[in-house]
Structure 1
Amino acid sequence: MKKMLVAAVSRVLSGVAQKPASRVLVASCNYSNDATFEIKKCDIHRLEEGPPVTAVLTREDGLKYYKVMQTIRRMELKADQLYKQKFIRGFCHLCDGQEACYVGLEAGINPTDHIITSYRAHGFCYTRGLSVRSILAELTGRRGGCAKGKGGSMHMYSKNFYGGNGIVGAQGPLGGQIAEAYNMAALWKLPCVFICENNRYGMGTAIERASASTDYYKRVNFMPGLRVDGMDVLCVREATKFAANYCRSGKGPIVMELQTYRYHGHSMSDPGVSYRTREEIQSVRGKSDPIMLLKDKIVNSNLASVEELKEIDVEVRKEIDDAAQFATTDPEPALEEIAHHIYSDNPPFEVRGANQWVKYKSIS
């Protein structure tokens, strides 16, 4: 388990093409290599101390985090569009607004660590290594999807990522029935971080109306916990590093509550404004949007310019558009492949279809 970049950009500004080369002006801009930021102090439970209250962000990491968060945001907005155009059918749970959770978590662990999650998992799919093309193609049910077009929004998987699950709370039983999972993890001191993505609403009910106690990080009274600002990618990163190190040191499991916010409704059938006001959503967008907060940090600390970030935006939009084109033109899986990939490494066997006289061959 125990498994920088300095840049100077020169822009050439020339006048009329006929002007001699001696009239060319060169403007140089030197960016900072890194910057240190104060981050919100985490609330702690059964811990003597929590994660640090400062974090260093390098220019390289800042640009990487920004691009990944923008990619997730644009991918979800494109999924919204494809759903309304009826290219995506069935359930679709979007995670725009929660980008800092996925990027911060991935930045705080190792690629060899394992992640198990519920639905609303498109962001995890991307940070765990799946391409936008394979994610959107899975949403549209195409052969080029990450699950061969058979899983859809709620059943995507990749290496060390045990994907979304369609049943509420299904990610808990994958590691043991949730209360018993807490108990056994604590008894055996397992290196497990239990994470609550608290986006303030359970389907269409505000947490204050559904929970007698909204201190989710304290829910397991015999296990230490952290409550983290889930809108700040640096805060999530530092808290995740702290939690991972705690587990790797042999101290046992820990709970992390990430306070975040979802912009869309629970699913595409939920407009998301019958149980909350549009003003509330706009207030979050204007004050604590995770991409906006990171952008302000990068620009204000001279890690990059607004123009450079705009170039990333253009690059991301092109990637999303290209992926959407593929996701709407790639063929659907053939009917005879309906039983394929039930197991990953078993020899071929027959599977009975809806009609008992029809059988399909299952291959790995």
Structure 2
Amino acid sequence: PKSPSPDIQHPKTHYSNEGRRSKVKGLGKMSAPGSPDLEADVDAKVQVPPNTAKFATLFEPDSFVAEESYYSRVLNAQRHPLVSSFMGLSNDVIAARYCHLHPSTDEKVLLDVLKTPKKYFNWAGVDLFSVTDDNGKKQMIIIETNSCPSGNKSLPMPADFDENNSNYHYLIRNAFWNKAKDLPKESGVLAVVYDKNDMECQAYACALADVAQEKVYLAKWKNDDPNPPAKIEKSRLYVRTEDGKWVGVRAAFRYVTQAPWARIPALTSRTFVFNPIVCCLAGGRNKMCADKAYEFFNHRHFKSGLVVRTPVTIRDVAKREVPIWVKSMGGFAVVKNPYSNAGQGVYTICSMQELDAFMKEDHKYDRFIVQSLVGNSGWSSSIRGKRILP
């Protein structure tokens, strides 16, 4: 799909937010625009400053502001027709079209995979590469799965957009709220907890307030914060209000990405957390477990013509073994810390100098995964070991 173009006018280009900001409590404690750690958006007219408050910011219904929820060029862009068409397809149509292109696939099994309700992992994103192998065959491969995916701020809005029907509202309404709406209000408040991506998380809080028609707390919970505005006690999530009181949370939308298991247990019996941390441990943040999951899926479904394609992946590699595996891939490989995300802990090895730099670095973990490097034909891995380090 093409990137949003600023010269393509959206059918609805005027966004009136007059009076809406008065419904957001606690924003005065946020740092001013222009802070060094402000999320980059070079062409944005309105920027969302990082939340540095030591209490949870309160959002009320009708506080969603489009200009503060999307990159500015996205506001006046349209979705590519191919994207709009695909996002409007049902599971049945997707399965039928896929099987038309892949006749060896069992359509009944594919539909069963698509329609089976998920117990824990209800919101996910993946990094996909469109690649061509040495024989000229085109295919998609998956690089990794994400249990707290970002990207809504970069997705142009639908043509019939209104401020109660944004991408954020759609996700909250169809993925989160249909599982949390029956929880009794007296069991606690609603909250969004996060550690990065201020723009999207504020938008999710506003969208949740609109969908639920009640106030929503937004708490930034960084791993190195000695006094965060959120905590877990006796399997329940609490957030701190502006007056210093701790209030229990009945349901929380989670965007805590950096080692979330260090702050939140795998399962919280007294607070519905979406997604639960068990999703991160099972593969959303654990690349070793994710690779095993892909392998198990392929073993289960290969007779039906279904397979998850990934780069060649070697798990549980000790640091001293990394040079051996890099050499076996022709001197081109990607070494990954299995628990990091967002590009952290990823080492692209294309030369002896880069390999030496990796070996000299002190690493937090003892085990790594080594994957074949997928890229230009001149610097991709060769499993036969044809390419030699310069």
Q: TM class, shorter-chain normalised?
A: under 0.3
Whichever structure has more helix as a proportion of its residues is 1
The TM-score with structure 1 as length reference comes to 0.24
**Greater relative contact order structure (CA < 8 Å, 6+ sep):** 1
